[in-house]
Chains A and B, each alone.
Chain A
Amino acid sequence: MSASPDRRRGAAGLFAGRAFVLARRRLAQALPVILLVLVGNFLLLKLAPGDAVDAYIAAIGGGDAGLVAKLRADYGLDQPAIVQLGLYLWKILRLDLGQSLSLGQPVLTLILERLPNTLLLMASSISLAFGLGIALGVAAARRAGRPEDTAIITLGLIVYATPGFWLGLMLIVIFAVKLAWLPVSGIETIASTLTGFERILDIARHLVLPTVSLALVYVAIYMRLMRAGMLEVYGLDFVRTAKAKGLTDDRIAYRHVLPNAILPMVTMLGLQFGTLLGGSVVIESVFSIPGIGRLAYESVIGRDLNLLLGIVFISALLVITVNLIVDLLYARLDPRIESA
C-alpha cells in the first residue's frame, strides 16, 4: 500500500484505475484459458464414438451409404481431426461460430435466442439463493446452538440433499397441477399476444417454480457459509470491543459482523456462476425452458461440434466476465485487497 499514482485521483479514480488494470490482466489470462477449453472440448467430443452425421442418420431412422458420405463431405467431417480443429479456430478468430449441423441454423443465432432465458433464470435464482442464504445464515448464527439454529441447519441439509429435478417435478405437481396457481412449464405463454407489463408478469409467473427449484440447493450452501463466517467474526477482538462499548446486538450483527463475514460469499458467488450454468440443464429440461444448458446437452448427444464449441466459447466469456466483476466487487468491499 505504498504511494501509488492512483492515490491522487481519489477513491473513484482509484477504483477505475484498478478496474482497468484488473480487466487487462484478466483478459490476458483469459485467452489461453479459452483456447484450452475449446481444444479440450473438441478432443473430448472427438473421442466419443460417432460423429454428427451418425447422430443425424440415427435421428431420421437410417439412410444409405451414399447419403452418409455426401453429408460428411458437406460438413467437412471427412477431413482429419487436426485440420477440422485448425479450421474451427481460424473461424473463431474471425468471430464466426459457424453452422449447427443438427439444428441447421447459425450457431450464433441459436445461442442468442436461448441465452436471455438462461441468464434470466440464473439471475433470478442466484439472487434468491444469495438473499435467502444470507438471511437464514445470519438468523442461524445469531441463535447458534439453539433449536432455531438446528432447525435451519437441518432444513438446509434436507434441501441440499434433494435432487433439483425431483424438487422441480414435486413443485410442478403441487403448485401447477394440484393447486393450479402457476404454469406447468415454458418461459412464457406460447404464441401469446401479450405485450409490455402483461408479458413481464407472464414471464415472472413462469419463472417462479424453476427459480425456486434451481435456487434451493444453493440456499443451503450460502446459508452454511454465511453462518460459519458470522460465527468466525463474532469471535474476533473488535466484536468484543463493540460489545464492551455497549452496542446493541442488532447493531453489532448488521454493522460490524455481517459486512466482514460477507466476503467469502462473494467468492462463492463467482465460483457458483459456472456451476449454475451447468445445473440449469436439468431445470431447463424439467420446465421445458429453451435455454443454453439444454442446447449444450443436445449438442453433445447430436455430436454437434460447432454448436458445442460455440456454447463453450460464449459460456467461458460469461464466466470470465462475471469473475472479473466479482474481483472488482471484492476490492470495493474490502479496501485492503488491491487488484491482486
Chain B
Amino acid sequence: MARPPRLNRRILIQGAIGAAGSSFLPWRAYAQGKRGGVLMVAADTDPAHWNGAILASNGVFFVSSKVLEPLADQAFGGNGLKPVLATSWTPAADGRSITFQLRSGVKWHDGKDFTSADVAFSAMEIWKKLQNFGRVLFKDLEAVETPNATTAIFRFSKPIPSQLIVNALPAVSTVVPKHLYENTDAAQPTHPQNQKPVGTGPYTFAEHKRGEFVRLERNPNYWAPNQPLVDRILYRKMADKGAVAAAHESGDIHLSCFSAVSTPDAIRLGKVKGLEVTAKGYEGILYTATVEINHRRKELADLRVRRAIRHAIDPKFMLDTVFNGFGSIATGPVPASGAPFYTTDVPQYAFDPARAEALLDEAGYKKGADGNRFALKLLPAPFFEQTRLTGDYLRQALRRIGIDVQIESNDAPGHLNKVYKDHAFDLAVAALVYRNDPAISTTVLYRSGTPAGAFFTNQYGYADPEMDKLIDQAASEINDAERTKLYVAFQKKVMSDLPIIPLVDFPFLSVVSEKVVNHHNTPRWPCSSWADVSLA
C-alpha cells in the first residue's frame, strides 16, 4: 500500500488544537505539485454577487478569494498572517495610521497595473461604505494617502488598535480595481464587475451559470512564480447533501467544503478508498456552539440558574455524539486557535447534575409534584445540523435537573427575528463565529446597548457595567500587550458571569479526493487563494 496514511479523526482534532501553537507545520505544505487538470468542487451557495470586498462572507470568499485578493491572509505559525497584496504593514506609535508596503509588478486580469490607488479606492469607497464588517471597522478611517504606487498610508481620525485592523485583514481587505468601479454604483449586485470580477488572483473569473456552475481559469500572469498549478476550477452547485456524497463516491467531484455532506456521510466517506475527511483548514473560521440566554426571564437572570445549566451539560458527551468528535470543548468565548488572546485561566464548570440541582434549590426553584422546577422555550438555530442536535441534547440534559424544555424550530429569518429582534425565546442554541479578533464579532455578544434587531449581538437583556467597561477599554487600547491583557480579563469575566454559555468549538468538514495536493494548509483554507493546489 503506497497510499499515504489517512488521517483519522483524533489526529485531525489534535492537529486543530496544535495549530494554536506557533510551531505547527502546515500539513503537506511542501509537497511538489504538477501543472494542469480541472479541480471539481461542490458549492451550495449562489450569492447575489461575487464581490468579496462588499460581501465579506464565507460563501462568497469560497469562490471570490481565488479571483480577488486581500492585503494579507491567515497562515499557520508566525504572527498568523502571510503577506498577499501587501508585503508589510507598520502601525504608527500613536495609533493614528498604518503604512502598507504593496507588492510591485502585480497586474489586474485585464492587464492594468495594480497600484496603491486601488487600495485607497477599495478602503474609502468599498470597505468603509459598503462592506458588512468594514462599515464598523473602518468608520474612523479618514483618508488613505498614496505617496507612491506601492505605498498606502491609512490615516484614522482617532487612535485605533492596529492589532485589530491587522487581525481583520484576511476578511475585510479584499482589493478591487479602481478603474472598473470609479464613478459607478458599486453596491449594485448587477454591476458587471460584481457579477464577473476582475482581480489580481491566481484564477480569472470565466463563467457563471446561475444555479449550475462557476468556472475559473488559470491566470497565466499571476505574480507568484510557478503558480497557480491547476488549469481550471469548476464549482458545481449542489443543494442536496446526499447528492454531494454520491458525487464524491462516483469521482465526479474532488472536493467539498463547509460540511457540504452530513457528518454521518462524511465519516462513511472517510473510509472510502481514495477519499479523506478533514476538519483542518477551518481553524480561523471556527464556530462555537453556544447556549444563548434571555435574561429577561427572572429565573435566567439569576447567576445560580445559569451556572446550574452549565453544570447540567456534558460538553464531552456532546463532542462525541452531536459533533462526532470533530471539534473541541470550548473554555470560553475565544477558541483555542485564537492566539494571542486565548487563555485557559478561566472559571471551569464540571459536568455535575447534583451540583446543578443544589444550585437550583438554593436559588429557590424547588421541584414541583411533576418533577419540574420551571419550563423554558428553546430555539435551536436552523443553520447547522449540529445546533439542532445540540437543542435535542439540551432538552434531555436540562429535564434531568428539573427544567422542562420545549423546543421551537423556525427557518433562518424566523429564528433570527424571534431571538435577536422580538426576544421571543428563553434559551437558544447558536453557532457563533470567532473572526480572528474578539473585537470583530465576539464582544458585540456581551456589550449592552445594541438596538433590537441587530443579529448576532447581545440581544439577551444582559447588561453589566463592568463588562461594558472592559469591552470599551479594549476597543480603544492601542498597545497590543495591554489590549491582549484586557481580552484575557474579558474571557474570565464571561466565564464567571455566563451571560451566554460557550460549549463546543467546531469546524466544518471537508471531503477531499487524494488526487488533490496541497490542501487545507491555511487556517481559513476554503476562503484562501488555492494558488498552490495541484492535482496528482
| Chain A residues in the interface with B (C-beta under 8 A) | 48-51, 54-68, 74, 101-105, 110, 113-114, 165, 169, 172-173, 176-177, 180, 183-187, 190-191, 284-288, 290, 294-295, 298, 301, 303
Separation of A185 and B477 alpha carbons in the complex (Å): 54
Q: Is the CB of A184 within 8 A of B243?
A: yes
Separation of A164 and B383 alpha carbons in the complex (Å): 24
Q: Is the CB of B453 within 8 A of A58?
A: no
| 3 A-B pairs with the lowest CB-CB distances in the bound complex, closest first | A50-B413, A104-B189, A290-B211
> Which of A60, A66, A191 is B56 in contact with, Cβ under 8 Å?
A60
Q: Is the CB of A61 within 8 A of B246?
A: no
Q: Is the CB of A287 within 8 A of B48?
A: no
Residue of A nearest to B235 (CB): A190
> Which of A56, A165, A172, A190 is B212 in contact with, Cβ under 8 Å?
A190
Q: Is the CB of B413 within 8 A of A49?
A: yes
Q: Please, which residues of chain A bring their CB within 8 A of the CB of B209?
A: 190, 290
In the complex, how many angstroms separate the beta carbon of B47 from the nearest chain A beta carbon? 7
Task: Produce 1/0 per residue, B219-252, CB < 8 A to A.
Answer: 0000000000000001011111011001101101
Q: A185-B238, A288-B236, A301-B411 are in contact. Are A63 and B243 (CB under 8 A)?
A: no
Q: Is the CB of A102 within 8 A of B240?
A: no
Q: Please, which residues of chain B bring their CB within 8 A of the CB of A298?
A: 46
Separation of A68 and B417 alpha carbons in the complex (Å): 13
Binds A, one of B57-65, B295-303, B318-326, B349-357: B57-65
Separation of A105 and B242 alpha carbons in the complex (Å): 29
Separation of A56 and B416 alpha carbons in the complex (Å): 11
Q: Is the CB of A59 within 8 A of B47?
A: yes
Residue of A nearest to B213 (CB): A190
| Chain B residues in the interface with A (C-beta under 8 A) | 45-49, 55-60, 132-133, 135-136, 187, 189-190, 194-195, 207, 209-213, 215, 234, 236-240, 242-243, 246-247, 249-250, 252, 383, 410-414, 416-418, 422, 433, 441, 451, 453-456
In the complex, how many angstroms separate the beta carbon of A308 from the nearest chain B beta carbon? 13
> Which of A66, A176, A286 is B240 in contact with, Cβ under 8 Å?
A286
> Which of A58, A101, A287, A294 is B211 in contact with, Cβ under 8 Å?
A294
Residue of B nearest to A190 (CB): B213
Separation of A186 and B239 alpha carbons in the complex (Å): 11
Separation of A58 and B441 alpha carbons in the complex (Å): 14
Residue of B nearest to A57 (CB): B455
In the complex, how many angstroms separate the beta carbon of A226 from the nearest chain B beta carbon? 33
Q: A184-B246, A184-B252 are in contact. Are A285 and B416 (CB under 8 A)?
A: no
> Which of B132, B133, B236, B383 is A190 in contact with, Cβ under 8 Å?
B236
Q: Is the CB of B246 within 8 A of A177?
A: yes
Q: Is the CB of B246 within 8 A of A50?
A: no
Separation of A130 and B535 alpha carbons in the complex (Å): 47
Q: Please, which residues of chain A bring their CB within 8 A of the CB of B56?
A: 60-61
6 A-B residue pairs with CB within 8 Å: A49-B413, A105-B189, A113-B210, A177-B250, A191-B207, A286-B240
Q: Is the CB of B412 within 8 A of A55?
A: yes
In the complex, how many angstroms separate the beta carbon of A206 from the nearest chain B beta carbon? 12
Q: Is the CB of A288 within 8 A of B239?
A: yes
Separation of A55 and B136 alpha carbons in the complex (Å): 20
Q: Is the CB of A191 within 8 A of B238?
A: no
Q: A176-B250, A184-B246, A295-B211 are in contact. Are A58 and B48 (CB under 8 A)?
A: no
Residue of A nearest to B424 (CB): A49
Residue of A nearest to B136 (CB): A64
Q: Is the CB of B247 within 8 A of A185?
A: yes
Q: Please, which residues of chain A bring their CB within 8 A of the CB of B453?
A: 65, 68
Q: Is the CB of A104 within 8 A of B48?
A: yes
Q: Please, which residues of chain B bring their CB within 8 A of the CB of A287?
A: 243
Separation of A57 and B383 alpha carbons in the complex (Å): 13
Q: A57-B455, A303-B413 are in contact. Are A67 and B239 (CB under 8 A)?
A: no
Separation of A185 and B256 alpha carbons in the complex (Å): 15
Residue of B nearest to A187 (CB): B212
Separation of A293 and B212 alpha carbons in the complex (Å): 14
> Which of A55, A288, A295 is B413 in contact with, Cβ under 8 Å?
A55
Q: Is the CB of B190 within 8 A of A104?
A: yes
Q: Is the CB of A290 within 8 A of B237?
A: yes
Q: Is the CB of B46 within 8 A of A103?
A: yes
Q: Is the CB of A60 within 8 A of B243?
A: no
> Which of B250, B414, B433 is A184 in contact with, Cβ under 8 Å?
B250
> Which of B60, B135, B246, B410 is A63 in contact with, Cβ under 8 Å?
B135
Q: Please, which residues of chain A bring their CB within 8 A of the CB of B132?
A: 57, 60-64, 67
Separation of A113 and B209 alpha carbons in the complex (Å): 9
Separation of A226 and B246 alpha carbons in the complex (Å): 36
Q: Is the CB of A105 within 8 A of B412?
A: no
Q: Is the CB of B413 within 8 A of A184?
A: no
Q: Please, which residues of chain A bring their CB within 8 A of the CB of B246?
A: 169, 172-173, 176-177, 184-185
Q: Is the CB of B190 within 8 A of A105?
A: yes
- Given contacts A48-B414, A58-B383, 20 further A-B pairs with CB under 8 A are A54-B416, A54-B455, A57-B416, A61-B57, A62-B441, A63-B133, A66-B135, A68-B454, A113-B210, A169-B242, A172-B243, A186-B212, A190-B209, A191-B215, A286-B242, A288-B237, A290-B237, A294-B211, A294-B239, A298-B46
Q: Please, which residues of chain B bring their CB within 8 A of the CB of A113?
A: 210-211
Q: Is the CB of B243 within 8 A of A65?
A: no
Q: Is the CB of A50 within 8 A of B48?
A: no
Separation of A66 and B451 alpha carbons in the complex (Å): 11
Q: Please, which residues of chain A bring their CB within 8 A of the CB of B234?
A: 190-191
Q: Is the CB of B247 within 8 A of A58?
A: no
Separation of A48 and B416 alpha carbons in the complex (Å): 12
In the complex, how many angstroms separate the beta carbon of B95 from the nearest chain A beta carbon? 22
Q: A61-B57, A290-B212 are in contact. Are A301 and B252 (CB under 8 A)?
A: no
Q: Please, which residues of chain B bring their CB within 8 A of the CB of A48?
A: 411, 413-414
Residue of A nearest to B189 (CB): A104
Residue of A nearest to B60 (CB): A60
> Which of B47, B135, B187 is A64 in contact with, Cβ under 8 Å?
B135
Separation of A50 and B453 alpha carbons in the complex (Å): 10
Q: Is the CB of B456 within 8 A of A62?
A: yes
Separation of A104 and B209 alpha carbons in the complex (Å): 14
In the complex, how many angstroms separate the beta carbon of A176 from the nearest chain B beta carbon? 6
Most A-side CB within 10 Å, residue of B48, B414, B453: B48
Residue of B nearest to A69 (CB): B453
> Which of B45, B58, B135, B249 is A177 in contact with, Cβ under 8 Å?
B249
